[in-house]
Amino acid sequence: MDAVILAAGAGTRLRPLTLSRPKCLVPIDADRTLLDHQITALAAVGVDHIRLVVGYLSQMVREHCGDGSRYGLRIGYVENPNWETTNSIYSLFLALDDWDQAGTYLCNCDILFDARLLQRLAASQGSAIAVDAQRDRLPGEMNVRLDEHQRVEAISKQLDPATTQAVSAQIVLLRNGDGQQVAGQVRSLVEANALDTFPTAAYGPLVEDRRLTGVDMADVPWAEIDSVQEYDDAREQCAPQLLSSGNVT
């Protein structure tokens, strides 16, 4: 299995923490950064190759992670030279390749989680997205509408929260050729110059065919880190609950 981590942005809402380092390298505990936690979790569930999309202060990320051998996998770097003017859909476009048919994880670098989240996605049938059915669904958040079988009917920041059942944790596992269909949608969006959109826009064909399952992670610790307050909360509330990489059962 392989993975793509989108880590090109400057993380301006995390300043002053990101004035001298990328968002993905903010420290979570004494030993590991946010990116360390993600890569360790991916390695623990059998990912052997990561495409890491970098931009802002990219050399720091390259020097920190190296070739991936210290995590027990391979890391290949993809440079986004337009990180200041494009959204994450363009970073994903740059990372398009022959994604592993056994499964490709798509990850935003600002999500703190451990391998239990990934394991639960892997235990599902077909492609799946991590969601949380207990968190407050707020306007402007990535909310998810599910049918009675937990299949995604819609996912967007424009959805009326009252019509949705969960919040997206923004980690996706694509399997059984679905990755190539998503890749085709990413290419179409970029060719149409829709560079201010999010990767979720590329899930359209899977959503229309009800091939993307929402897997509830409400009982698994995870946190999105977009602001200094969310960073502080993640370190105090989420990080202490994370399991070590050697204990993910």
Q: Does 235 reside within a domain?
A: yes
How high is the pLDDT of residue 177?
A: 83
Each residue's pLDDT tens digit, 179-217 = 888 989 999 999 999 888 888 889 988 998 999 999 999
Domain containing 74 — which CATH number? 3.90.550.10
**Burial of residue 30, with CB atoms counted within 10 A of its CB: 0-12 exposed, 13-18 middle, 19 or more buried:** exposed
Alpha helices in 95-193 (DSSP H): 115-123, 178-191
Residue 39 lies in a domain: yes
State how far the Cα of 150 lies from the Cα of 57, in Å rounded to an integer. Answer: 39
pTM above 0.85, yes or no: yes
Inside any domain, residue 247: no
Domain coverage including residue 165:
2-241
209-239 pLDDT per residue, tens:
999 999 999 999 999 999 999 999 999 999 9
37-96 pLDDT, tens per residue? 999 999 999 999 999 999 999 999 999 999 999 999 999 999 999 998 888 899 999 998
Q: Whole-angstrom Cα distance, residue 210 to residue 148? A: 11
Domain count, the chain: 1
Instruction: Flag whether 193 is in a domain.
Output: yes
Q: Which amino acid is at 39?
A: I
Paired tokens of 192 = 């149409």
For residue 248, being part of any structural domain is answered with no
